[in-house]
Structure formats: structure tokens, C-alpha cells
Amino acid sequence: MALIVQKFGGTSVKDAERINNVANIVTAVYREGNDVVVVVSAQGDTTDDLTEKAQEINPKASKREVDVLLSAGEQISAALLSMAIEKMGYPVVSLLGWQAGFETTSDHGNARIKRVNADRIRKELDQHRIVVVAGFQGVNRYGDITTIGRGGSDTSAVAIAATMHADLCQIYTDVDGVYTADPRKIPGAVKLPSISYDEMLELATLGAQVLHNRSVEMAKKYNIELEVLSSLTGERGTIVKETSSVEKMLITGVAKDDNIARISIIGVPDKPGLAFKIFSKLASKGINVDIILQSIGRNGTKDISFTVEKNKLEEALEQLQSYEETWGASGVVSDDNVTKVSVVGAGMESHPGVAAEMFEALYSRNVNIQMIATSEIKISVLVNKADGERAVEAIHDKFFANYN
């Protein structure tokens, strides 16, 4: 007997059939004698429908009212799932964010969970009820409804699991686990039985988009074992935990991120402090910089290149161009026709040959590398967008050819 937290995303509850399917999964775990807390997202299109209604009335509506509006989505799916579980004859109760004790900051639309007061959830579990919690939402100190932004319901689920010391937190989604590469693109991609928090974090950052970083970070902090799995296949998924497996795999995955653009500032005078000024200017506008490369130029100047999210490119260029003269640079150029390809693996820490093998794979397929960045468990390269798919294939073949 264990305490299991399960989270189901919007596609898993999109219609009556899928809701009944979720009810089957939930009650099967309950029947085994477990305490079950279920966190649900809004049904497939509900959030979009509600957003559209708001847009029509006031595209600049306050975030407070947007939160009141959108939180109705999870309220609806929580009630419907509870009804499906009732129909199967099991005791169940739905709780909204404020009822489930989600106390958050007041940052509407992107609130942080300060604390989960799980008294009510515990009381319901003591009554042997399945507890269905509306994800994504909480309440601030003034008693106003908040939503917790990106990755919302995943984060809700992990927060409950952390607060209640759950034995497992299952994240049901429309993929059945974490793969060595995007399985829709790379036929040889393999599902990993397990992966470490750090590897999962690197993969999430790199656009694998299975789990939101925020939920993985919280799981890591409180050492909550996550399982990523599909609500349709019924197969075991991928476990995310502190150490991935006894025999550490060299690398666990290859990921590609197209949402990226490169900026180069050309001919910057070679004086101390300039890089700091440039990047703090961008940071002050909330623009995150990723791979940074600085090269020695001619005549005591240097070129500084870096990548930003593609949708921040324009804003970044505006910032930089207004300071170009002040800094004495000779020009700013950009390229959004690029892709970042990365390999991730805790094993590479103790295995210095990975970078060389990766570069060899790319060379063998004639892929030109524009920039390189490395961390303890990740190597990323920037390549032409047209070469992206080929690069992922090449690297995946190199490291996973004999995995199956």
C-alpha cells in the first residue's frame, strides 16, 4: 500500500471516452489498496475556447480575471472525472485549488506555489476516497484565484507528492515515456526505462517537452520519483529519479531545438567589462542567452556570438542596436535559420570521448558546426536549420545503433 499521485493532461481527459479511460486507470491503482490523488488539466480545447472568449471581449484583460476564467477549465474536468469514478462505484471527491490547499504568490498567470496545506486531502484519503484535484490553480493570501503558469498541472502534481511524501508521482501524457530522440522523427529512437533528474532537465530545456522543467526541479529538490507514461498504452513508462540506472548509460538522449536564433556583435573593442554590460542589458529585459562564443578579432577587437530564443530575437536586436555605438562595436548581425542539437547523458562526465564521437558523426554526414557549448552532462552544437534532422540522425545512429 502506497500513496500515489497521478496527473492527467488535457488530451487524456478531452472527451467522455478518454475520461472513462482515466477513471479505469485511477480505480485500478485504488483497487490495489493504494491511496490515490489525481491531478487533472483542463479538457483538450477548453482553455483555448475560454481564451478566445476573453480575447473577443478584452485582449488586455487583467491577469487576475484571466485566472478566474481559465481556472474554470480544470474545475470542469475535475468534476467530470469524479463523476466517471462515481459511476464505477468508487468513493471520490473533487477539490479545486483553494480547497486542496494550494497557497501561491500573487503573480497571476505565473504564480509560484508557496505551500500546499494538505489537511483536506489527507482527511478525504482517511475516508478512503479517491481525491481528484484541479491542477494549475491555487489561491493567494487575499483569497484570489491564481494560476501557476507553464507546466502547471505537472507542477501541481509534484507539489502534492512532495508535501505528502508520495511514493510515486505518475505523469500521464500523450507520449509513453522519455526517448533517446524524438520517436516521430528518428525511427531508431528507444524508450528509456529510467533517467536522472539532471538528464531530464537538460532534455526538457532542449525542447524534448515531455515534462516541464519546473516540475522536474521540484521533484529533484524533494526527491520524488516521477514516472512519465501514456494514459492509452498501459505500458510502463520512464522513471525519473536521482540516479538513472546501475549501469550508467553513456548518453541518454539526443534533442533538437529549433526555437533559437544566433546574434553576433562584430568588432567589439577588447576591453574588460563589455561582455558583462551586453548580457546584463539583455537580462534586464528578461532575455535569456544560451550558447556564448567569443573570438579574438583583428586590431584589438573581438566578436561575441550567442543564441537567444527565436521569439526574443527582435527585442534583443533592438536593445543591442541602441547601444552599438556606445560600445564601439562595428556591427550586429543575426541568423534565425539555425538549430541546436544536443546530446545529454550523466555518463559523459567520466568519459571524455563523447564530444569527439559526436563531432565525428556530424562530419561523416557533412554537417557544419557553427558553435559548440558543453556542460558536465551535455554537449550542444549550433548547426544550419537544414542540417538539423540529419545531425540528430547521425548522432543517434552513432550512440544508439546497438541499443535495442
Q: Answer yes or no: are the C-beta atoms of 53 and 63 closer than 8 Å.
A: no
Q: Is 366 exposed, middle or buried (0-12, 13-18, 19+ CB in 10 A)?
A: exposed
Stretch that binds a second copy, among 93-101, 230-238, 339-347, 351-359 (CB under 8 A): 93-101
Among 3, 5, 37, 80, binds a second copy (CB under 8 A): 80
Closest-CA residue to 93 (of 25, 159, 152, 36): 36
Q: Which of 87, 115, 165, 285 is in the footprint of a second copy by CB under 8 A?
A: 87
Residue 54 binds to a second copy (criterion: CB under 8 A): yes
DSSP output for 245-300: -SS--S--EEEEE-SEEEEEEEEEE--TTHHHHHHHHHHHTT--EEEEEEEE-STT
Q: Which stretch binds a second copy (CB under 8 A): 91-99, 282-290, 310-318, 373-381?
A: 91-99
Q: Residue 371 pairs with which residues in a beta bridge?
A: 382
- Per rule CB under 8 A, is residue 116 in the interface with a second copy? no
- Among positions 11, 51, 76, 315, the unique one binding a second copy when judged by CB under 8 A: 76
Count the residues of the shown chain that bind a second copy, applying the rule CB under 8 A: 38
Other beta carbons within 10 Å of 184: 9
Compute the distance between CA of residue 318 and CA of residue 242 in angstroms, rounded to an integer.
42
Interface segment toward a second copy; rule CB under 8 A; list 84-92, 105-113, 332-340, 352-360:
84-92
Per-residue contact string for residues 122-161; x = within reach of a second copy by CB under 8 A: ---------------------xxx----------------
All three cell numbers of 76, joined, read 470542469
3-state secondary structure of 138: strand
Q: Torsions phi, psi of 33, nearest 5?
A: 95, 10
- 62, 233, 259, 311: residue in contact with a second copy (rule CB under 8 A): 62
Contact between 208 and a second copy (CB under 8 A)?
no
Q: What is the DSSP string of 141-187?
A: TTS-EEE--TTHHHHHHHHHHHHTT-SEEEEEESS-S-BSS-TTT-T
Contact call for residue 56 and a second copy (CB under 8 A): yes
**Any contact of residue 64 with a second copy (CB under 8 A)?**
yes
Site string for a second copy, 34-53 (x = CB under 8 A): ----------------x--x
Closest approach of a second copy to the CB of residue 79, in Å: 4
- Kindly tell me which residue out of 16, 28, 283, 333 binds a second copy, with binding defined by CB under 8 A: 16
Measured between alpha carbons, how far is 256 from 391 in angstroms, rounded to an integer?
Answer: 9
Question: Does the protein bind a second copy through residue 308 (CB under 8 A)?
Answer: no
Stretch that binds a second copy, among 87-95, 226-234, 246-254, 392-400 (CB under 8 A): 87-95
Binding piece for a second copy, criterion CB under 8 A, among 86-94, 257-265, 278-286, 349-357: 86-94
User: Would you say 86 or 324 has its CB closer to a second copy?
Assistant: 86
Pairing of strands 194-196, 168-173: unpaired
Which range, of 96-104, 164-172, 293-301, 310-318, touches a second copy by CB under 8 A? 96-104
Near a second copy by CB under 8 A: residue from 26, 78, 160, 291: 78
Which three cell numbers mark 56?
473577443
Say if residues 208 and 255 touch (Cβ distance below 8 Å).
Answer: yes
Q: Determine, following the binding rule CB under 8 A, whether residue 266 of this chain makes contact with a second copy.
A: no
Q: Which residue number, 96 or 291, has a Cβ lying nearer to a second copy? A: 96
Sign, CA torsion 223/215/158/221: positive
Q: Can you name the residues that pair with 8 across neighbouring β-strands?
A: 40, 172
Length of the chain: 404
* Residue whose C-alpha is closest to residue 86's, from 26, 135, 6: 26
Binding region for a second copy (CB under 8 A) out of 92-100, 163-171, 249-257, 354-362: 92-100
Chain contacts with a second copy (rule: CB under 8 A): 16, 19-20, 50, 53-54, 56-58, 60-62, 64-66, 68-69, 71-72, 75-76, 78-80, 82-84, 86-87, 93-94, 96, 98-99, 120, 143-145
